[in-house]
Amino acid sequence: MPTWDPKFGPNPLATEVTARLVQFVGRIASTPPFAQKLKAGGARVPDIKAESLENAIDIVRQSEIGVFHPCGSCNKGSVADTNLRVYGVRGLRVVDASFFPLVPVGNIQSVVYAAAEKAADVVMAERRQIVARGLGDRNTPEWEELHSYVGLR
């Protein structure tokens, strides 16, 4: 079974910024009028007592989780080419959120649909090039090579 390591916390600057945010949220929660809206002695998950930056960093490291719609897990250019063909796997393309450089605002579904539309355009353009060059005939040696990349076997 493959293992995916999201590499939470490998960047010390990102961890420190998040820890300082934890401290800031703690200060907001203890400041009126917000503090008056919270149950006195109420439980927090995690129990945030980030008096020091080191303590806040520990809280971040212990409680970091992934988002519900992960994206950006593949580096486009190192996993697939600009036509979404996966390196080293003949006939396979990546058409999902794994190659998004940034997390979209809101749900990623509409952006995935847009990526799929673009991928369909790429595949169809390659198919049109094959037909225009007369390589659509199975009797040519280039047919197998080109059709395997486009996925038209």
Annotated catalytic sites, by residue? 69
DSSP letter string, 31-78: STTHHHHSPTT---SS-----SHHHHHHHHHHH----SS----S-TTT
Bridge partner residues of 8 (DSSP) = none
Q: Report the distance separating Cα 82 and Cα 119, nearest Å.
A: 10
3-state SS, residue 93: strand
Under DSSP, the state recorded for 128 is: H
